[in-house]
Amino acid sequence: MIPYGKQYINDEDIQAVIQVLRSDWLTTGPKVKEFEEAFACQVEARHAVAVSNGTAALHAAVYALDIGPGDEVIVPAITFAATANAVVFQGAIPVFADVDPGTLLIDPASVESRLTPNTKAIIAVDYAGQPCDYDILMNITKRYNLYLIDDACHALGGSYRGSPVGSLADLNTFSLHPVKPITTGEGGLITTDNEALATRMRLFRNHGITTDHQQRDAVGSWVYEMIDLGYNYRLTDFQCALGLSQLKKLSEWVIRRQEIAARYDAAFANTASVQPLTVRPYVDHAYHLYVVRLKGIDRKTVYCGMRANGVGVNVHYIPVYLHPYYQKRFGTSYGLCPAAELAYEEIISLPVFPGMDDGMVDSVITVLQKVIND
Ligand SMILES: *Cc1c(COP(=O)(O)O)cnc(C)c1O
């Protein structure tokens, strides 16, 4: 089975991890800072804060902005549930905005229609790896004095009008899960230019305690203060060593993902029933996912047909507000975001990952065309 996404680990990665396993620090040691600095540099942000996963990154971001009960945060209907869950973790209310039917990115007009006096922030999701329209979103957040979070879990390595993803919003969150652009097994990061927010997130990932183990060791003191309620959202040193090693390959991998996407685009250019999502000319798409909309053919037939033929297609995502938890807790239901609901019926994600060669891409294309014509 060709999976829809897969990590790429080489000997260099393995050696980097082994080296740390033989060292004195398995967690909260020098590799964390080294990885954070390299990551911040890569995305042209002043600060990066490493955490245990992408969901923790979103949670830390919502926490850092002091979002709590009674506050509303606008999120897109089409995203992984964690985007909205992070808002709920802090006792606030996720308000679902519809998506643009061409790109499936959050629709700024829908965002504006959802604003209330309780709105505190917008979480934009760079769906599939394509950055949202940040000029328009920033204009809204400035006019209404809101914060902008970029859930960039799909988009590391992408850019918007020449600026890298990770530098586009007040806070930018990443996941390092194996299917994502680079991996540490589990892992996450938040980038920001705001030092106060970075400090708050460092506190949050370490129980709300003002110093970490390494810092206390350095000054020879056991004294620490817990000044807020935090979590243990730390990332280990051996994971950060893997992250550092993976980061070196990011640019090359994004190029390979773009080549695969171009090969799919060319193959489907004359197939009316397979419509790739729209890509805006002023972005560099990181292609975490290659998503097409199926027209005039049943998605489930295609899904089952392709899986039966060894192609591990997937569907990203069920509109979050249709999950039973959201329907029960927030009273959301069908009709809330019509463009998202229609898109959900038609979308399918084809395999794309850096280890995919042209032969594998061509066999996915052949299988899809066969399933459609059968
Ligand atoms: C993967 C992902 C997350 C969650 O990241 P984890 O590391 O799995 O916790 C959040 N948002 C989006 C859009 C994602 O794709």
What distance in Å separates the CA atoms of residue 93 and residue 99, rounded to the nearest whole number?
Answer: 19
3 state SS of 124: strand
In this structure, are 322 and 361 located in the same domain?
Answer: yes
Q: How far is CA 344 from the centre of its chain?
A: 19
In this structure, are 276 and 196 located in the same domain?
Answer: no
Q: Which of 4, 51, 78, 80 to mutate to test the pocket of ligand 1 (most atoms within 8 A of CB)?
A: 80
Mean pLDDT of 227-248: 98
**What percent of the chain clears pLDDT 70, i.e. is strictly above it?**
100
Burial of 290 (0-12, 13-18, 19+ CB in 10 A): buried
Closest atom of ligand 1 to CA, residue 175: 7
Report the pLDDT value the prediction gives residue 218, as an integer from 0 to 100: 84
Q: Does 247 have pLDDT greater than 90?
A: yes
What distance in Å separates the CA atoms of residue 172 and residue 165, rounded to the nearest whole number?
Answer: 8
In this structure, are 285 and 225 located in the same domain?
Answer: no
Q: Give all strands of the β-sheet with 159-160 in edge-to-edge order.
A: 163-164, 159-160, 283-284
Mean pLDDT of 348-366: 98
Q: Who lines ligand 1 at CB under 6 A?
A: 53-55, 79-80, 82-83, 125, 151, 153-154, 175, 177, 188
Q: How far is CA 288 from the centre of its chain?
A: 9
Q: Which of 247, 274, 300 is the last residue of a domain?
A: 247
Say which amino acid occupies 248.
K
Q: Which of 6, 142, 180, 295 is catalytic?
A: 180
In this structure, are 292 and 306 located in the same domain?
Answer: yes
In this structure, are 120 and 46 located in the same domain?
Answer: yes
What are the φ and ψ backbone dihedral angles of 368, each rounded to 5 degrees? -65, -45
Mean pLDDT of 137-163: 98
Q: Which two tokens stand for residue 80?
A: 């992984």
Is residue 264 within 8 Å of 276, Cβ to Cβ? yes
Is residue 170 within 8 Å of 194, Cβ to Cβ? yes
Q: Which of 220, 247, 274 is the last residue of a domain?
A: 247
In this structure, are 77 and 213 located in the same domain?
Answer: yes
Q: Which residue has the least CA distance to atom 7 on ligand 1?
A: 54
Q: Does 252 have pLDDT greater than 90?
A: yes
From the CA of 153, how far away is ligand 1's center (Å)? 6
From the CA of 129, how far away is ligand 1's center (Å)? 12
- How many folded domains does the chain comprise? 2
Q: What is the pLDDT of residues 197-219, one digit of tens each?
A: 999 999 999 999 988 878 888 88
Report the pLDDT value the prediction gives residue 73, as an integer from 0 to 100: 99
What are the φ and ψ backbone dihedral angles of 260, each rounded to 5 degrees? -65, -45
Peptide linkage before 317 cis (omega within 30 of 0): yes
In this structure, are 91 and 219 located in the same domain?
Answer: yes
CATH number of residue 345's parent domain: 3.90.1150.10
CATH number of residue 62's parent domain: 3.40.640.10
In this structure, are 238 and 178 located in the same domain?
Answer: yes
Mean pLDDT of 308-336: 98
Count H helices, E strands: the chain?
14, 13
Residue 340: domain span: 250-373
In this structure, are 34 and 93 located in the same domain?
Answer: yes
Closest atom of ligand 1 to CA, residue 56: 9
Q: What is the pLDDT of residues 83-124, one digit of tens each?
A: 999 999 999 999 999 999 999 999 999 999 999 999 999 999
First and final C-alpha spacing in the chain: 21
Confidence of residue 267 (pLDDT cuts 50, 70, 90): very high
Average confidence score pLDDT of the chain: 97
Q: Which of 78, 156, 175 to mutate to test the pocket of ligand 1 (most atoms within 8 A of CB)?
A: 175
Is residue 176 within 8 Å of 156, Cβ to Cβ? no
Mean pLDDT of 52-68: 98
In this structure, are 232 and 259 located in the same domain?
Answer: no
Q: Does 368 have pLDDT greater than 90?
A: yes
From the CA of 192, how far away is ligand 1's center (Å)? 18
Among all chains, which residue has been given the structure tokens 């680079």?
Answer: 182
In this structure, are 53 and 158 located in the same domain?
Answer: yes
3 state SS of 200: helix
Angle, alpha carbons 296-338-286 (nearest 5°): 75
DSSP string, 213-274: HHHHHHHT-----B-S---B---BHHHHHHHHHHHTTHHHHHHHHHHHHHHHHHHHTT-TTE
What distance in Å separates the CA atoms of residue 218 and residue 305, rounded to the nearest whole number?
Answer: 60
Q: Which of 188, 215, 247 is the last residue of a domain?
A: 247
Say which amino acid occupies 261.
A
In this structure, are 237 and 257 located in the same domain?
Answer: no
Based on the residue annotation, tell me whether 31 is a catalytic residue of this protein.
no
Closest alpha carbon to 229 in 212, 204, 201, 210? 204
Q: Does 12 have pLDDT greater than 90?
A: yes
Q: Which residue has the least CA distance to atom 14 on ligand 1?
A: 153
Q: What is the pLDDT of residues 276-299, one digit of tens each?
A: 999 999 999 999 999 999 999 999
Q: Which residue has the least CA distance to atom 5 on ligand 1?
A: 54
